[in-house]
Copies of this chain bind each other. A is one copy, B any other.
Amino acid sequence: MDRRQSIVDAARQSFSLYGYKATTMDHVAKIANVGKGTIYTFFSSKEELFEVIVQELIRNVKSLAMNALDPKKAFFENLHRALFAVLEYRQEEEILLRLTREVRDFGTPAATEGLKRIEEAILGFIKRQLELGMENGSILKCDAELVAFMIFKTYVALLLEWNHEERALTNEDIAMAFQRVFAEGLNP
């Protein structure tokens, strides 16, 4: 295994366990079994190393979303499937949990920026699906950028902010609400 990959793997591990701020380059070097200065032959800074990890996460998210789509299913069902897959990944991927907590607790600039980039990738995916949906007649014409934002924020709020203990939301609850509100609308 080459050194660059060892360093990237070590960094991913450390960011996952300790977050961005508490990850030291000394520690990354030790995990990777290289001298600290060797890191700087591949990456100009801690931030650039983190950027590589963020790019990785973005690729994973996009891949997950694409793989959740099933050509035989309806537009909104697919959108729900993709979003659910992505947000489920976000709930399980250790490094994302870590970074989310760090941003919430400390507002670390690099972590904040990294998570923002990932969110933008998700929004971009939704926007493209909306545009495709309009082209092939699956949905009516709308402002794709704005609607993507609305859908995403609502979805995230449902998954992360809905806190009624007597009434937990199931995956089906969310899919149905999604269909009811965004697909069908509330007008008689």
A-to-B contact residues, CB < 8 Å: 76, 133, 137-140, 142-143, 145-147, 149-150, 153-154, 157-158, 161-162, 164, 167, 169, 173, 177, 180-188
Measured between beta carbons, the chain B residues less than 8 angstroms from A139 are 186-188
Tell me if A149 and B158 are in contact (CB < 8 A).
yes
Instruction: Count copies of this chain in the complex.
Output: 2
Q: What is the minimal beta-carbon distance from A34 to any residue of chain B, in angstroms?
A: 39
Tell me if B149 and A181 are in contact (CB < 8 A).
no
Measured between beta carbons, the chain B residues less than 8 angstroms from A185 are 181-187
Contact A183 B187, CB 8 Å, known A157-B149, A157-B150? yes
Please measure, in the bound complex, the distance between the C-alpha atom of A182 and the C-alpha atom of B161, giving whole angstroms.
20
Q: What is the minimal beta-carbon distance from A115 to any residue of chain B, in angstroms?
A: 13
Measured between beta carbons, the chain B residues less than 8 angstroms from A169 are 146
By beta carbon, the residue of chain B nearest A174 is B146
Tell me if B180 and A142 are in contact (CB < 8 A).
yes
Selected contact of A154 from candidates B154, B183, B184, CB within 8 Å? B154
Selected contact of A142 from candidates B153, B154, B186, CB within 8 Å? B186
Q: What is the minimal beta-carbon distance from A186 to any residue of chain B, in angstroms?
A: 4
Measured between beta carbons, the chain B residues less than 8 angstroms from A154 are 150, 153-154, 157
Q: What is the minimal beta-carbon distance from A12 to any residue of chain B, in angstroms?
A: 28
Interface centre among A138, A147, A150, A167 (most CB of B within 10 A): A150
By beta carbon, the residue of chain B nearest A180 is B142
Measured between beta carbons, the chain B residues less than 8 angstroms from A167 are 145
